[in-house]
């Protein structure tokens, strides 16, 4: 199959593909998603096949309005969910709720009695869903285990020939996936940190738990996706937490005489040797979140053996960045 690249004047073509049961990658404010008709199990199955994703890992149901959610979700959750929707939708918050009986197929929910809903803040994709008239499932549009795509060319690299089209809307704004909050438990619980933070959520619904940092491999994670290897480039990523440690880390890795990449703010890159492959994270943890996945992909393409990556251990709004970086590094930190 030839994968077509579409622009924002070709939304109807994307709608036609999806209505035909085919797969179309779509832009969001976080990362690109891999879209299929959420009401067609055959189409949804193909999403797992294209990504190489384990089939027990449920998908996010993307909607173009809160009303669309209530055709599927348990309406008892309306009062609580609507407070979140009013404050954060369209935007990078995914809300997990119990669904109405048989409202969505097991291909979407992974066999759970809940589903994840999100209204992305991207004009092209809101238009796509609205024109289609039904929700679109969409995991991130990368090969399972690889860094999520923040550019259409990342999607093309991973999925060309496997999907009908990519709707190209340029680089995504935020660069890390949405915050996932589970409302189906006694205390609403953050399953995946994102740019909408614990503090943001507390202000709106009062009581929130944040469990993401406690998930261990041997536990059964509440977000099935959290147990799999994630965001991992072929190179070994090493997190350098203290900026003061960079000079020592740089000289130790330079001595190894293998290709080394460095992923850090401009300030640190200025002091890295010529021989290092460099990728800029900009100036702070917000720009770092935006460029992390692109940086991992770019340095991988340069075939480096190690990537020294800046940690931002104490940064405000840094939970999402740290969570993704930790996974891409398999928790490996530089130790003096
Ligand atoms: O920003 C985003 O959320 C992007 C864009 C494309 O919208 N999507 C995304 O999808 O990151 P995905 O499939 O890569 O991540 C969805 C996460 C997974 O960890 C999955 O296990 C979890 O949400 N999830 C989905 N449905 C769930 C459910 N019913 N219960 C618990 N976790 C669920
Ligand atoms: Mg993903």
> Region 76-87: what's the mean pLDDT?
98
* Residue 225 in this model has a pLDDT that exceeds 90: no
> Region 71-75: what's the mean pLDDT?
98
Residues near 96 by beta carbon (within 8 Å), at least 6 away in sequence = 114, 115, 116, 117, 180, 181, 182, 183, 184, 191
* pLDDT computed for residue 212 by the predictor: 59
Q: Record the tokens describing residue 171, joined without a space.
A: 């680089």
* Residue 219 in this model has a pLDDT that exceeds 50: no
Q: Which atom belonging to ligand 1 lies closest to the Cα atom of 192?
A: 19
CA 38 centroid distance within chain: 19
Using alpha carbons only, give the angle 126, 127, 129 rounded to the nearest 5 degrees. Answer: 65
> Region 91-113: what's the mean pLDDT?
96
**Domains of the chain from N-terminus onward:** 4-225 (3.90.870.10), 236-328 (3.40.50.11030)
pLDDT tens, 306-327? 999 999 998 989 999 999 999 9
Taking the C-alpha atoms of residue 151 and residue 200, their distance in angstroms, rounded to an integer, is: 28
Q: For residue 148, which phi and psi values (nearest 5 degrees)? A: -65, 150
| Of residues 291 and 54, more confidently modeled | 291
Say if CB 207 and CB 188 are below 8 A apart. Answer: yes
Q: Which of 16-20, 156-160, 198-202, 210-214 has the lowest mean pLDDT?
A: 210-214
Q: Record the tokens describing residue 212, joined without a space.
A: 């993401």
* Residue 6 in this model has a pLDDT that exceeds 50: yes
* Residue 216 in this model has a pLDDT that exceeds 70: no
Taking the C-alpha atoms of residue 55 and residue 53, their distance in angstroms, rounded to an integer, is: 6
Q: Which residues is 93 bridged to in the sheet?
A: 179
User: Ligand 1, residues 24, 81, 139: which to mutate, most atoms within 8 A of Cβ?
Assistant: 139
* Residue 182 in this model has a pLDDT that exceeds 50: yes
Q: Which of 29-38, 202-211, 239-248 has the lowest mean pLDDT?
A: 202-211
ipTM: 0.99
Q: Record the tokens describing residue 195, joined without a space.
A: 């740019």
Ligand 1 — pocket residues by CB below 6 A?
28, 30-31, 33, 57-60, 92, 94, 96, 109, 112, 114-116, 118, 120, 138-140, 177-178, 180, 191-192, 222-226
């Amino acid at each position: 199959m030839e994968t077509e690249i579409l622009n924002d004047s070709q939304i109807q073509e994307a709608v036609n593909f999806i209505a035909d049961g085919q797969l179309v990658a779509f832009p969001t404010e976080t990362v690109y998603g891999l879209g299929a008709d959420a009401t067609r199990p055959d189409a949804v199955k193909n999403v797992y096949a294209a990504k190489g994703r384990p089939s027990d890992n449920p998908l996010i149901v993307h909607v173009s309005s809160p009303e669309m959610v209530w055709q599927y979700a348990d309406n008892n959750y309306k009062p609580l969910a609507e407070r979140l929707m009013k404050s954060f939708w369209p935007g990078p918050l995914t809300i997990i709720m119990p669904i109405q009986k048989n409202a969505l197929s097991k291909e979407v929910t992974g066999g759970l009695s809940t589903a994840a809903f999100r209204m992305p803040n991207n004009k092209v994709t809101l238009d796509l869903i609205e024109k289609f008239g039904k929700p679109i499932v969409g995991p991130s549009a990368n090969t399972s285990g690889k860094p999520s795509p923040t550019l259409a060319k990342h999607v093309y690299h991973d999925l060309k020939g496997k999907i009908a089209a990519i709707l190209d809307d340029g680089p995504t704004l935020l660069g890390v996936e949405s915050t996932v909050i589970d409302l189906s438990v006694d205390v609403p619980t953050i399953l995946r940190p994102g740019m909408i933070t614990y503090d943001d959520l507390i202000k709106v619904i009062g009581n929130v738990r944040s469990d993401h940092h406690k998930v261990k491999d041997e536990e059964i994670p509440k977000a099935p996706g959290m147990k799999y290897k994630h965001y991992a480039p072929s190179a070994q990523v090493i997190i350098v937490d203290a900026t003061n440690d960079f000079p020592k880390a740089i000289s130790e890795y330079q001595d190894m005489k293998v290709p080394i990449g460095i992923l850090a703010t401009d300030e640190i890159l200025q002091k890295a040797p010529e021989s290092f492959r460099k990728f800029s994270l900009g100036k702070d943890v917000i720009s770092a979140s935006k460029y992390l996945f692109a940086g991992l992909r770019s340095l991988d393409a340069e075939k480096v053996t190690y990537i020294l990556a800046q940690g931002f251990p104490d940064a405000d709004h840094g939970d999402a960045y740290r969570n993704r970086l930790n996974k891409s590094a398999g928790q490996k930190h530089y130790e003096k």
